[in-house]
Amino acid sequence: MKYIALNDTIIEKLQAVVKSDTRHNSRTRAQVFLLNKQGIKIPEIAKILNVSQRTLYHWFDRFNKKNLNSIHELEGRGRKPLLNIQEHAASVKIHIKKT
């Protein structure tokens, strides 16, 4: 069984992330740590949130190393944009001129 020690300040910050963060993954990770604090076991959390237990253990390890910084996605993750900002601006200008 894996538990993470959370103080009141961290709990408040995690609750704020769950309530107001725009990123789904960040909210889910924060919720995992709050559920764990309530004494819910990892297999149960995995079923509740439809996440593998292995993923949860990775999140716990990362939280132990980086604390609250670990709940957000690492830089460079996710799909890269098809257009850079200059190309996007240029295509918008062309489209505006056509209309």
**In Å, what is the CA distance from 41 to each residue of 7, 12, 45?**
19, 21, 6
* Coil/strand/helix, residue 7: coil
Spatial separation of the C-alpha atoms in residues 36 and 2, rounded to whole Å:
8
Q: Give pLDDT tens digits for 28-67.
A: 888 998 998 888 999 999 999 898 999 999 888 888 887 7
**Domain boundaries, given as residue ranges, for the chain:** 1-74
**Residue 80 pLDDT greater than 90, yes or no:** no
Spatial separation of the C-alpha atoms in residues 55 and 69, rounded to whole Å:
17
